[in-house]
Every structure is written in structure tokens, then in C-alpha cells.
């Protein structure tokens, strides 16, 4: 029986596929019934709350076996990664700076490469939320910066929650990412507008969203 799945905040295509018994995200993404979804989301790693994915019924496969011989089967499982890129806002070199990631059952204590990109292969049931601690000075016993990074929690730029999240990550405090245009959100938007030479009206209009997408996109990968 064909089902429809509406994407919720924080879900990934691979985890949705696993929920319905599929081993890979491509089993859903490439299915003919999801042609409209593919056209909407050409990158399967970028899906958003409210997207509708068709879950086709699974078909049983029958494989002929050879008698009196060893039959070998290979089961393909898709790997899942957490990727985080750190770039210093002042353009300072962060190569070799210590970073500690706590995600799911794993703690990764390493140093940043020249491009600031850290990649971690996740265990199947690991959480998609990471605690990140940065040590930007030598011999620090406590981190210079600490924050939480969540996979799949960045809404589209044309939503207020998407504006709030990007402003927060760029240092313009909009408060809780809740889609409510309260006083703190307006203050954060005004701060962003002022710094980037836009009309300071606290309204996340098309020009503000375009600049926000440009600036955020240059600092991090969605």
C-alpha cells in the first residue's frame, strides 16, 4: 500500500527511508512516484518540513540459488555523515585549532583542517544534534566558543523561522526559532540590516532575505 510521508523538522531522507524499511535514501528519491519531489528538491540532502514524499510498497525479491554451492549476497547500506564547516568571521586562520564534537555515542577530539571542514560518520541510531566546543587559543582548559549544531533544522529562507535561524547563526540574536515575529526577532533583523547596509525596518523582505542567503551561504553550507 502506497503511503505519504510529510517531512517534519529535523528529519533526513535516509532516516525516513529506514523508518519504512528501506536501506538507502535513493530507493525513495529515485522512485517514479517521487518525480515531483525530485524536481522540487534536486539535492536529496536538502529537504524541508512540509515536503511530501511517497512511500511505495516494498516488493519481495526472489533470487535463484545454485544447489550444492556457496551463494553470496551483498547487502548495501547507505552511510550517514555529520559535516560541519567552521570559518572565522574575521578571516583569521583556524588551521590546527582544536575542536571537540559530541554527537550521539561519539566524542571526536581533533583539530581543524585549512578549510575548516569536519566530517563524522554517524552510527545508525546517533542523534542528529551535536555539541561543538572550539578552542581558538593554545593551552585553553575551557572552550572559546560552544554551540549546538542540528542537522535538518534549517528552514527555507522564505520562512520566518529560516530567517531567525540564519540571523542567530550569524550572531544577530533573534531569540527562539519559532516563526513568531516578536521584539527579539525584529531587533536581530534590524542588526543584520544595519551591518549590511540595508534599510533598517525590522522587516525580512526580499532584499533582506536575498542578502541573508548570500551572507549565510558564504559562511556555511546548508
Segment 120-178, tens digit of pLDDT? 888 877 787 889 999 988 888 899 888 888 776 777 888 898 899 889 878 899 998 88
Closest residue by Cα to residue 11 from 44, 49, 39: 49
Start-to-end C-alpha separation, the chain: 34
Q: How far apart are CA 25 and CA 151, in angstroms?
A: 16
Would you say residue 2 has pLDDT above 90? no
Closest residue by Cα to residue 154 from 47, 51, 82: 47
Give the H/E segment covering residue 14.
helix 13-19
- pLDDT for the residue 219: 44
pLDDT category of residue 217 using cuts at 50, 70 and 90: low
- pLDDT for the residue 128: 79
Distances (CA, A) of 72 to 75, 116, 126: 10, 42, 30
Please state, rounded to an integer, the average pLDDT across all residues of the chain: 86
Q: Mean pLDDT: which of 43-57, 66-80, 207-221 is highest?
A: 43-57
Stated pTM of the model? 0.62
Mean pLDDT for the stretch of residues 60-79? 69
Closest residue by Cα to residue 92 from 134, 120, 57: 134
Mean pLDDT for the stretch of residues 1-24? 89
Amino acid at each position: 500500500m502506497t503511503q505519504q510521508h510529510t517531512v517534519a523538522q529535523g528529519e533526513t531522507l535516509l532516516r525516513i527511508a529506514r523508518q519504512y524499511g528501506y536501506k538507502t535514501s535513493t530507493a525513495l528519491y529515485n522512485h517514479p512516484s517521487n518525480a515531483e519531489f525530485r524536481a522540487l528538491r534536486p539535492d536529496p540532502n536538502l529537504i524541508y518540513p512540509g515536503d511530501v514524499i511517497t512511500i511505495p510498497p516494498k516488493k519481495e525479491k526472489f533470487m535463484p540459488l545454485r544447489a550444492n554451492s556457496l551463494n553470496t549476497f551483498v547487502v548495501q547500506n547507505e552511510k550517514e555523515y555529520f559535516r560541519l564547516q567552521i570559518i572565522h568571521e574575521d578571516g583569521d586562520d583556524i588551521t590546527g585549532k582544536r575542536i571537540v564534537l559530541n554527537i550521539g555515542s561519539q566524542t571526536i577530539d581533533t583539530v581543524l583542517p585549512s578549510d575548516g571542514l569536519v566530517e563524522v560518520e554517524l552510527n545508525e541510531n546517533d542523534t542528529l544534534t551535536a555539541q561543538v566546543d572550539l578552542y581558538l587559543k593554545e593551552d585553553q582548559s575551557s572552550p572559546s566558543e560552544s554551540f549546538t549544531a542540528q542537522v535538518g533544522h534549517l528552514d527555507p529562507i522564505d520562512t520566518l523561522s529560516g530567517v531567525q535561524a540564519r540571523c542567530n547563526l550569524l550572531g544577530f540574536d533573534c531569540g527562539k526559532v519559532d516563526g513568531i515575529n516578536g521584539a527579539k526577532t525584529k531587533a536581530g533583523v534590524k542588526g543584520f540590516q544595519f551591518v549590511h547596509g540595508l534599510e533598517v525596518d525590522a522587516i525580512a523582505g526580499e532584499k533582506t532575505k536575498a542578502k541573508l542567503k548570500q551572507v549565510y551561504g558564504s559562511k556555511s553550507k546548508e
